Amino acid sequence: MPDIGWMELLVIGVVALIVVGPKDLPVMFRKLGQFTGRIRAMARDFQRAMDEAADESGMTDLNRDLRNAARYTRNPAKAGTDALKEAFGDIDPDKYPEGSQTRAAAEKRDAAAKQAKAKAADLKAKREAGDAPVAPNEVAPDPEPAKPAATAEPADAVPRTGADAP
């Protein structure tokens, strides 16, 4: 919609008053309002029909999925944390029956998660206090180098035929 200020509206009103006249001006504005209302109603109906067609064809779901994908590509760290929260959301052991293997695994994961959080908080506190080194002390051991492959005898440069084959 065009950006029309009060001064522009005043100029339009004065010109309309001069051109149309004071007697027919209210009738003209009434008809202009009715015309504008009809145009808006037609635009609203068209928009509603297009929205319904998009819903029926599945475009709304596709649009939502694309928006979610775009949000994750803009912030990959958030995508990773959301995936971790979703993956570890079932750690609550109270959701499973007593004595089941699933509950035992959930309790084990819950304890490991609590221990990791406590260790991370402790390490963070030590770093802030200046007591701990910047890098953690626990480093994975170096992998053993791969053993060389067994050597084979080199092949003859001249192909053997049936007569000179051993």
Give per-residue pLDDT as tens, 105-159: 777 888 888 888 888 888 888 888 876 555 555 555 666 776 766 666 655 556 6
Tell me the three state secondary structure of residue 79: helix
Query: pLDDT band at 42, cuts 50/70/90?
Result: very high
Contacts of 95 (CB under 8 A, 6+ apart): 106
Contacts of 90 (CB under 8 A, 6+ apart): 106
pTM above 0.95, yes or no: no
Phi, psi values for residue 77, rounded to 5°: -65, -40
130: left (phi over 0), alpha (psi -120 to 50) or beta: left
Low-confidence winner among 67-81, 89-103, 108-122 (lowest mean pLDDT) = 89-103
With a cut of 60, say whether residue 1 has pLDDT above it.
no
Query: pLDDT band at 98, cuts 50/70/90?
Result: confident
Q: Are 134 and 127 in contact (CB under 8 A)?
A: yes
Tell me the three state secondary structure of residue 165: coil
**Spatial separation of the C-alpha atoms in residues 121 and 117, rounded to whole Å:** 6
